[in-house]
């Protein structure tokens, strides 16, 4: 696939959606590139559906970023692959601190299930409509969301036989 | 047993004595139930923990656990009375779960009706740790994620950092990287075939696989000083030049591993027990592969032609001649066969590297990224300053966001770094191939026999360090 054809695919994808920002990035040590697309939250599911319809039917990744000081605070990132033509899009949307809610994609991509659970577990993003939004990596009774920037790294005092715990 | 106990207690008919006997027996024969202070008799205490499998009519994720969320041709179970169903836990300490994976299986006799993978037992917060380490220290951290393919982890990390920095690496560094990653793929697939043989009952395969893998690890040790967790591929290049005589080592490695692989195929390809255990087991159809984001040999065994080395070549993969083996049926046997063929292709790439490797630097000479050689520090003030800055502050990366994926032994291994400037990543996300593979276990395993669960799991080759990070 040539670059112009790829650009046409992306142009056809983002055409129906307003306020979409697209930038093309090149991989390191490679001649290939991928696209980063940022969309508003209310277009999240429709965008994923039309991306799937246009050929981006392989689910690759979904996760959340905590921007902490920059409002809106959280960012949810979706990574989709089109196998033919070979193309990758990294779609992101920002959500505010007091309303960290993104509609679920499990009805579009079954694979979003574990990834949304992980984003909920690690960053506290709520995905209404998810079939089983429970913690996945941390224990069920864990308090807090570890990858948030205001969550301390923490340490467990280790008791050495010949040492002190520093207390 | 409990009846006998009560009888004995009644015969003694002394309150204090019976209490102590009762108490001591209970202490020995009862276990704690998580979340309660009560002790439960042994037989009743089959607690499933907090992630319990809910009753069917209450379970919101029923379709996913039954593997029928994606349309396929599985047998839909007929109505069976609930009393015939039982739930058992496989893992987290089961030897064939390749680490600490826990599978909740709902069984109907010997048929598996529902599967719920439960993960997180090996979660060590590496993505959080990565935010506290600078870019020079980062590769030490990421190499420990998927501990069977450390070079692939390091490569994905280094390429992402290089993308953020906007630097390239010399051609020789790229060739060394490809050599190490391909030999790592060989080692990983050898281990995978060995453990799959072990799980299915071909114990000689286990010993053979380990034997050939040892040759690869010996070479890694010679190059990097370590058998695992090398921290060899770093942002800007590789840590050291290949040792003298490496061509001979690799040539002999290729020869011996190729001989070994021929031996495996002779042992297993026509073996009726092996075929019975693997043919048609753990089938994944291409639509499921795409929906669940499964990549690597598992996807290619289902006939999904997706290999990042061919689709978006990096590190000069386009210069090497190799084929991408594809399966047709998507079952455990095809996955084994795809891995065996990939070992041969990787060795083919390695032999091409011996012939075509260019001369030159093994790392980028940008002083802001690479520490100066020791001798330069004595001669140049600039070199001393750069050395000091690199080892105290680390590499300073401009703000930005970058994603890069490499084809690891288990599939698409992606690294996504968000930088806000400075020498530490703001957020580092790993797209782990095993995570997606574990998620795709329910469609693979439902409506099959319990014994096939083990064969299917072994054929997906998940590494729990990669799943939980």
A142 has a pLDDT exceeding 70:
yes
Can you name the residues that pair with B415 across neighbouring β-strands? B404, B430
∠ Cα B178 B405 B439 (to 5°): 120
pLDDT digits (tens, 9 = 90+) for B349-400: 999 999 999 988 888 888 788 888 888 888 888 888 888 888 888 888 999 8
For A32, nearest residue in chain B (alpha carbons): B312
- What's the domain count of chain A? 1
pLDDT digits (tens, 9 = 90+) for A9-35: 777 777 777 767 778 888 888 888 888
How confident is the model at residue A160, as a pLDDT? 61
Torsion-angle region of B109 (φ positive above 0: left; ψ -120 to 50: alpha; else: beta): left
CA dihedral B187, B189, B191, B195 (to 10 degrees): 180
pLDDT band at residue B253 under the 50/70/90 scheme:
very high
- What is chain B's mean pLDDT, rounded? 82
Distance from CA of A110 to the nearest CA of B (A): 6
Alpha carbon separation from B443 to A58, B116, B117, B283 (Å, rounded): 17, 10, 11, 8
B112 vs B108: CA distance, rounded Å: 6
Burial of residue B361 (number of CB atoms within 10 Å: 0-12, 13-18, 19+)? middle
How confident is the model at residue B269, as a pLDDT? 84
Structure ipTM over 0.95, yes or no: no
Task: For chain B, positions 23-82, list CB contacts with chain A under 8 A.
Answer: 35, 50-51, 60-61, 63-64, 69-70
* pTM for this prediction: 0.83
Q: What is the CATH number of the domain that holds A73?
A: 3.30.460.80
Q: How many CB atoms lie within 10 A of CB B400?
A: 15
DSSP B259-302: HHHHHHHHHHTT-HHHHHHHTT-S---HHHHHHHT--THHHHHT
CA dihedral B456, B458, B464, B465 (to 10 degrees): -140
Domain that holds residue A69: 1-167
Sign of the alpha-carbon torsion through B324, B325, B329, B334:
negative
Strand boundaries in A1-85, DSSP class E = 21-26, 33-38, 58-66, 74-82
How confident is the model at residue A111, as a pLDDT? 85
Mean pLDDT of B205-225: 91
How confident is the model at residue B12, as a pLDDT? 43
A45 has a pLDDT exceeding 50:
yes
Which of B102-111, B139-148, B411-420 bottoms out in mean pLDDT, i.e. has the lowest?
A: B102-111
A23 near B CB under 8 A:
no
Of B35, B70, B402, the CB nearest to A25: B402
CA dihedral B450, B455, B457, B463 (to 10 degrees): 140
B153 vs B408: CA distance, rounded Å: 8
Q: What percentage of residues in chain A have a pLDDT greater than 70?
A: 88
Contact A110 B125 (CB under 8 A): no
CA dihedral B86, B87, B91, B96 (to 10 degrees): 50
How confident is the model at residue B46, as a pLDDT? 47
B412 has a pLDDT exceeding 60:
yes
B173 vs B385: CA distance, rounded Å: 25
pLDDT band at residue B5 under the 50/70/90 scheme:
very low
């Amino acid at each position: 696939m040539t670059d112009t054809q790829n650009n046409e695919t992306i142009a056809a994808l983002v055409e129906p959606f307003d306020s979409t920002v697209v930038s093309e990035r090149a991989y390191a040590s490679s001649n290939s590139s991928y696209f980063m697309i940022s969309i508003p939250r209310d277009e999240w599911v429709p965008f994923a559906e039309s991306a799937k319809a246009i050929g981006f039917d392989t689910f690759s990744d979904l996760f959340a970023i905590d921007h902490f000081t920059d409002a809106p605070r959280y960012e949810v990132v979706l990574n989709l692959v089109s196998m033919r033509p070979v193309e990758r899009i990294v779609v992101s949307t920002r959500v505010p601190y007091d309303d960290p809610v993104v509609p679920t994609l499990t009805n579009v991509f079954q694979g979003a299930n574990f990834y949304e659970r992980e984003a909920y577990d690690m960053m506290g993003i709520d995905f209404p409509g998810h079939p089983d939004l429970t913690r996945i990596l941390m224990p069920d009774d864990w308090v807090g969301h570890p990858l948030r920037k205001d969550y301390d790294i923490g340490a467990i005092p280790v008791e050495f036989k010949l040492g002190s715990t520093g207390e | 047993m409990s009846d006998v106990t009560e009888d004995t207690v009644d015969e003694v008919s002394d309150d204090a004595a019976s209490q102590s006997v009762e108490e001591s027996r209970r202490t020995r024969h009862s276990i704690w139930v998580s979340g309660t202070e009560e002790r439960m008799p042994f037989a009743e205490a089959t607690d499933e923990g907090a992630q319990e499998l809910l009753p069917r009519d209450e379970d919101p994720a029923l379709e996913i656990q039954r593997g029928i969320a994606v349309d396929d041709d599985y047998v839909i179970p007929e109505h069976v009375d609930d009393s015939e169903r039982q739930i058992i836990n496989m893992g987290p300490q089961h030897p064939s779960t390749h680490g600490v994976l826990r599978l909740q299986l709902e069984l109907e006799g010997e048929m598996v009706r529902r599967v719920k993978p439960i993960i997180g037992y090996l979660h060590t917060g590496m993505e959080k740790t990565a935010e506290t380490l600078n870019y020079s220290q980062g590769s030490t951290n990421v190499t420990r994620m998927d501990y069977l393919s450390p070079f692939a982890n390091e490569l994905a990390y280094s390429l992402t950092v290089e993308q953020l920095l906007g630097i390239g690496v010399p051609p020789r560094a790229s060739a060394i990287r490809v050599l190490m990653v391909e030999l790592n793929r060989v080692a990983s697939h050898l281990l995978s075939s060995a453990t799959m043989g072990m799980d299915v009952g071909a114990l000689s395969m286990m010993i053979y696989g380990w034997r050939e893998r040892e040759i690869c690890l010996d070479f890694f040790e010679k190059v990097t000083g370590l058998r695992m967790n090398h921290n060899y591929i770093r942002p800007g290049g590789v840590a050291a030049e290949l040792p003298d005589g490496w061509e001979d080592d690799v040539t002999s490695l290729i020869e011996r591993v190729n001989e070994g692989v021929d031996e495996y195929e002779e042992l297993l390809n026509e073996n009726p027990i092996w075929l019975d255990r693997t043919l048609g087991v753990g089938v994944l159809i291409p639509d499921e592969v795409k929906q669940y984001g499964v990549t690597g040999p598992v996807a290619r065994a289902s006939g999904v032609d997706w290999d990042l080395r061919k689709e978006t070549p990096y590190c000069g993969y386009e210069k090497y001649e190799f084929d991408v083996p594809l399966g047709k049926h998507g079952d455990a046997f095809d996955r084994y066969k795809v891995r065996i063929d990939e070992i041969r292709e990787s060795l083919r790439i390695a032999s091409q590297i011996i012939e075509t490797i260019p001369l030159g630097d093994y790392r980028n000479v940008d002083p802001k990224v690479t520490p100066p050689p020791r001798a330069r520090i004595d001669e140049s003030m600039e070199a001393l300053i750069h050395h000091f800055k690199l080892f105290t502050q680390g590499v300073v990366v401009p703000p930005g966001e970058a994603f890069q994926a490499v084809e690891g032994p288990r599939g698409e291994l992606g690294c996504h770094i968000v930088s806000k400037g400075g020498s530490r990543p703001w957020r580092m996300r790993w797209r782990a191939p095993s995570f997606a593979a574990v998620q795709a276990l329910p469609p693979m395993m439902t409506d099959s026999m319990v014994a096939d669960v083990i064969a299917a799991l072994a054929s997906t080759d998940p590494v729990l360090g990669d799943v939980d990070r």
